[in-house]
A and B are shown apart, each in its own frame.
Chain A
Amino acid sequence: MTPIIETEKLTRTFGQTEAVRELSLQIQPGSVYAFLGPNGAGKTTTIKLLLNLLRPSSGKARILGVDSSRLGPKELAQIGYVSENQQIPEWMTVAQMLHYCRPMYPTWDDAFCKKLLKDFNLPEDRKLKNLSRGMKVKACLVSSLAYRPKLLVLDEPFSGLDPLVRDEFIRGILELSEQDGWTIFISSHDIDEVERLADWVGVIQNGHLKLSETTEALQARFRRMEFTVASETTALPSSLPPSWLIPEIAGTNASLVESYYQESVTEAAITSHFPAATLITPQAMTLREIFLALAKVSSPTPPSLP
């Protein structure tokens, strides 16, 4: 199956700063891809490169099978895009904006549009400039969903939204993706927002793509390992397996994050490095915990021990 998004060593520099460095990923049709990373990691730049809003310094990107630099009206008519930074014609009412967008899309579905308006409880006759931030995002989402795009790109769509709106939003997207099998590419710095949505996860830090895999596989290979050491004076060995992240010892309690968990192998490795280790307990991790663990590892100065 042809990936709906495919990049190959995609790089973008601003002066001396490399915002995105040799990013290579593939996103299959029908997946919900969570593109995660802290603020300034390069998420928005990547999306702008994908949508031809920025030209890459090197590398390539293909969207819907087309080189991103050649994206035209035909492809854009199949892509929905909602961003916290996007300008909207604020002088228009919601209905006017939808009326303005409608002729651009051959697949515009009026009935669906009305349903979305109703579901999102949007006041059609209200000018966009008079709407709250959450309502504006909803209006943009309606204008990006009503033509049933093949690819929906959401760039930090939840920023500034209150939890109730956020929840409505996520529920709506989930329903739609399940119904029509859309591909959704959603970037966020907060993993809680997308945990329920994503079946694929990519993590970017300092312009580098740290990982890109299914949520299932990711959660299967990450475990938080907790165990007890013999005495409070036990120190961390100087050499530990590279798959162990943020090892900690507090008193006689020790923990680490195993990024390539295999029950027997991991327990044997712990016993090997901590001969007196007992009560070895693997704990499944949430995406948020995995993301934080990765973020800590990549920090220039790791957080100090509690």
Chain B
Amino acid sequence: MKLILHVFRKDLFHTFWLLLLWFALLVGRFAFTDWLFFNGNQAGLMMGMWLPWMLDSLTSLFLLVLIPLIIQQDSLVGTTAFWLTRPVSRPVLLSAKMLYGITILTSAVLVQTLSMAILGVSPHDIYCIDLQYALTLGGFITWIALFAALTPSFEKFAIAGAVTIAVSWGLYIFVVFFGSIFISSVGIISFVHLHSPRNPFESSLTEANSVEVAVAVTTFAYGILALAYQFLSRRLTISIVLVVLGLCISPIIQGFWQWNFFQQPATTITTNASKDILQHPAATISSTDTSSFTFSLMHPQKKTLGSSEYAIENVEAGIEAKNLLPENFIEIDEIHPDLITSSGQKVNIIDSSASLKTSRMLDRGGNASLDYQAVEAALGNIHILNAGVSVPQKYEIFSISTDKTLLSTKAEFRFSAQLKYTIYRYTIADKLPLKEKTFFRNNLLLGKITHVQNIAQGISVSLNELHVKYWFMHIPPHDDFSLPFLGMPFDVDKPSVYVLVNGKRGEGFLPQGDDLSRIIFRLDKNLSMRSTTLTFQQEDENAGENAATRMNAAWFVDASLVRLEPTAIGEATAGLREDHFKINPDADNHSN
């Protein structure tokens, strides 16, 4: 042990000034980040964009000099190194060099820890960020050391590094541009497809997934093993082979990795759909299964489309779902309507709303279709301040016919339809505290609300982000396709609903229009601008004066941004039948 420390002290002494300079750059990088975080403004924007990057690059460049200097001072290649004929065992030398690497690693992590602690980042966040930082930096140091351990001088180290990068890029370009022809000709593609299922964790939005962590851990561990092998055996050829194999680890893991240990266990919703279905006395509903559902048929009306002899007749009606549990809402997936005259003759229908998801035709203002009661229920009976008027869920159906004679009659029809529908409930997908002066975390970014003030139309929120360099351990468990606050409100398949919630007051606010866009795009994408403003305005006339006065900075202090996702809790089919379906002739109109 004494000898390990002795060799370590020698290395430390040798590189003292370089080490000090590297440390100063490191401190400068974090100090500058801190300064920006507290003082970030538009004036500092440009500087903030390039200076941390430059300091980061410089610290990395320093390591590219420091590590080879330390390793090659006691070279493992050749037969002329000073230590080879001195009573310094290989394990002692390896331990001393590793101690040096650990010192560098620890210093960097400590500086980052201190920096984040000063900024007020929570211990849990610091722990997560430090882990990923240590892992990534450790891997970087290890692989520099490995290359240095296989080369006798810095010049050859640089050449080996340059050649490796050039070959990697060459291979990449070859594979991208020419490889497919070659590879397919020798049958490799089919082999890869066979043995490498498409990685379900890839995402262009982030690298934050289990693959990235697996690559980092494996690269680090493999690098350490290969380095130890070279130190303990000094078998250059085998070590070079190990390095070449190691360089292939990353693409291999990325291609073959199948285990997403960040994925949340699937949530099983056990609600029985039949509980939510109540019989409606106004309509006769026949059920086809145990979870039959009752709809009421509303406001049948007739439209004649076109005025020429080719005009066609359209019958429109509404289907209303009543008496659902407040937290549930319904989407009708398919409707197959039939019209039958009193004489039993079937009206020839040339088109209908059979295959349309009728919920998309909801009369809800044209934006995201919201059932405010369901939103409030999902949030634990939070009162939405600017909720629109809750109307019963109403779905339009239509049937188009060219049979003018039949449709022009005022006689009653028998209407029937086959429905396929899904019952949904909102669930909280993400919750982001927005309290002033505290951190919030959104995927890659650590943000902080720095200033909230009242303005004429609402509030202005200034926020800054702490751009943490290493992120992949920082995310909460999730899969890539439900990243925090990446759910788009207009997503056809899975529309998210964003609500500002003040839990203490039991109130919520639904940002809409520009406010909604700001929340989605500022918090998620443009936070790297470091300083921006959110203005929440009340645009819904239904919110009224009272709500407008309550939405202020004081209200915002305890607010969280919550993203709700619709979750299907059951699917069913039903038959809808109305024997006395009479089209309202007053509603007849013509359109072109």
Q: Which residues of A contact B (CB under 8 A)?
A: 48, 51, 53-54, 72-74, 76-77, 79, 81, 83, 85-89, 91, 100-101, 103-105
Closest-by-CB residue of A relative to B84 is: A53
Check B2–A86 contact: CB distance below 8 A: no
Check A103–B6 contact: CB distance below 8 A: yes
B84 / chain A contacts, CB cutoff of 8 Å: 51, 53
B5 to chain A, nearest CB (A): 9
A91 / chain B contacts, CB cutoff of 8 Å: 14
A89 to B73, CA, bound (A): 8
B66 to chain A, nearest CB (A): 14
A86 to B86, CA, bound (A): 12
A85 / chain B contacts, CB cutoff of 8 Å: 80
Q: Does B251 contact A (CB under 8 A)?
A: no
**Residue from A48, A74, A104 in contact with B86 in the complex, judged by beta carbons closer than 8 Å:** A104
Binary CB contact string for chain B from 490 to 524 against chain A (1 if under 8 A, 0 otherwise): 00000000000000000000000000000000000
Q: Does B191 contact A (CB under 8 A)?
A: no
A122 to B235, CA, bound (A): 38
Check B10–A100 contact: CB distance below 8 A: yes
A105 / chain B contacts, CB cutoff of 8 Å: 87
**Residue from A53, A72, A76, A77 in contact with B79 in the complex, judged by beta carbons closer than 8 Å:** A53
Closest-by-CB residue of A relative to B10 is: A100
A104 / chain B contacts, CB cutoff of 8 Å: 3, 6, 86-88
Closest-by-CB residue of A relative to B235 is: A55
**Residue from B75, B79, B92 in contact with A48 in the complex, judged by beta carbons closer than 8 Å:** B79
A53 / chain B contacts, CB cutoff of 8 Å: 79, 84-85
Binary CB contact string for chain B from 1 to 36 against chain A (1 if under 8 A, 0 otherwise): 011001000100010000000000000000000000
Q: Does B381 contact A (CB under 8 A)?
A: no
For chain B, which range describes its interface: under 10, 10 to 19, 20 to 34, or 35 or more residues?
A: 10 to 19
A100 / chain B contacts, CB cutoff of 8 Å: 6, 10
Closest-by-CB residue of B relative to A106 is: B87
Check A86–B87 contact: CB distance below 8 A: no
A105 to B85, CA, bound (A): 12
Closest-by-CB residue of A relative to B89 is: A73
List, sorted by A's number, 23 A–B pairs whose CB atoms are closer than 8 Å.
A51-B85, A53-B79, A53-B85, A54-B79, A73-B87, A73-B88, A74-B87, A76-B86, A76-B87, A79-B85, A83-B80, A85-B80, A86-B82, A87-B80, A89-B14, A100-B6, A100-B10, A104-B3, A104-B6, A104-B86, A104-B87, A104-B88, A105-B87
A299 to chain B, nearest CB (A): 29
Q: Does B45 contact A (CB under 8 A)?
A: no
B82 / chain A contacts, CB cutoff of 8 Å: 86-89
A298 to chain B, nearest CB (A): 27
Closest-by-CB residue of A relative to B2 is: A103
A83 / chain B contacts, CB cutoff of 8 Å: 80
A17 to B119, CA, bound (A): 66
Q: Does B171 contact A (CB under 8 A)?
A: no
A114 to B84, CA, bound (A): 25
A64 to chain B, nearest CB (A): 12
B6 / chain A contacts, CB cutoff of 8 Å: 100, 103-104
A77 to B86, CA, bound (A): 7
Q: Does B188 contact A (CB under 8 A)?
A: no
A73 to B88, CA, bound (A): 6
Q: Which 6 A-B pairs have the closest CB atoms?
A: A73-B87, A53-B79, A81-B85, A77-B87, A76-B87, A104-B87
Closest-by-CB residue of B relative to A144 is: B85
A51 to B2, CA, bound (A): 25
**Residue from B75, B80, B86 in contact with A101 in the complex, judged by beta carbons closer than 8 Å:** B86
Extra contacts, 14 of them, besides A74-B87, A76-B86 (Cβ < 8 A), are: A51-B84, A51-B85, A53-B84, A54-B79, A72-B89, A73-B89, A76-B85, A76-B87, A87-B82, A89-B14, A89-B82, A91-B14, A104-B88, A105-B87
A83 to B80, CA, bound (A): 9
List B69-113 residues whose CB lies under 8 Å from chain A.
Answer: 73, 75, 79-82, 84-89, 92
A224 to B89, CA, bound (A): 51
